[in-house]
Copies of this chain bind each other. A is one copy, B any other.
């Protein structure tokens, strides 16, 4: 059960990924009292801000600042208070040992039970693939006490869950975990509306949520699921009973 002892870390490659792909789930965790930490690796200024760049006289600084505001507004809709912006360059993003250690440090500070981030394959977005491996590597290192980082101690292995990419099947995405977001779908919709430059995506992820709701009903036989989000999982489920 989600409660105040639940720590969730969300790692978003670009500005809006966390909303399209996991907004309903994030809102649900917040609503039920979990500690949700949001890490925005880049503003997506180069790769995911096409509409902004179509405005005359646009500058990189201004794009970043606009996206910063949108992210804060969207996070507020979802109820997320703890956000960090690391302002990495996107398109494409590069990782080195220093960046790995920075993320290990973050994981050890947040002590997440679950990490929500990009899955290993995205047919149209090399940054998403880079971030998927980045998070996995850092999560493994975070558990090892030989990886010494000032002011940190090791944590248990976090369970990592992968976002659904935009072109699901073309990206070999296969849903392993489908979460009901009926109770927080309105919040997700509000958060999506903070990214005004992309109205076609707002429709698109509305259809997705309803289609995943349809699948949730068919797979489970439970009629009350209306909206859902789908994820992959990086490790097997371990527990006490079939779920």
Contact = CB atoms under 8 A, between A and B. Distances in A.
Closest 6 CB pairs of A and B: A156-B221, A207-B207, A46-B146, A220-B238, A53-B145, A114-B242
A179 B240 CA distance: 5
Interface in A110-166: 113-114, 116, 123-126, 133, 136-137, 140-141, 143-148, 156-157, 159, 161, 166
Given A50-B146, A157-B218, A177-B236, 4 more contacts: A2-B241, A63-B146, A170-B236, A207-B210
Interface string A174-212: 111111100000000000000000001001100110110
A5 interface: no
A76 interface: no
Contacts of A214: 200, 204
30 contacts: A1-B241, A28-B240, A28-B241, A29-B241, A46-B148, A47-B141, A47-B144, A47-B147, A48-B146, A50-B144, A50-B145, A50-B146, A63-B146, A91-B147, A92-B137, A94-B97, A159-B220, A167-B219, A168-B169, A170-B175, A170-B235, A172-B174, A176-B176, A177-B242, A177-B243, A204-B210, A208-B211, A216-B238, A225-B238, A243-B243
Oligomer: number of copies: 6
Contacts of A136: 126
A125 B172 CA distance: 21
A241 B159 CA distance: 12
A86 interface: no
Interface of A: 1-2, 8, 25, 28-29, 44-50, 52-54, 63, 91-92, 94, 97, 100, 113-114, 116, 123-126, 133, 136-137, 140-141, 143-148, 156-157, 159, 161, 166-170, 172-180, 200, 203-204, 207-208, 210-211, 214-216, 218-222, 225, 228, 230-231, 234-243
Contact of A236 (B1, B176, B207): B176
Contacts of A116: 242
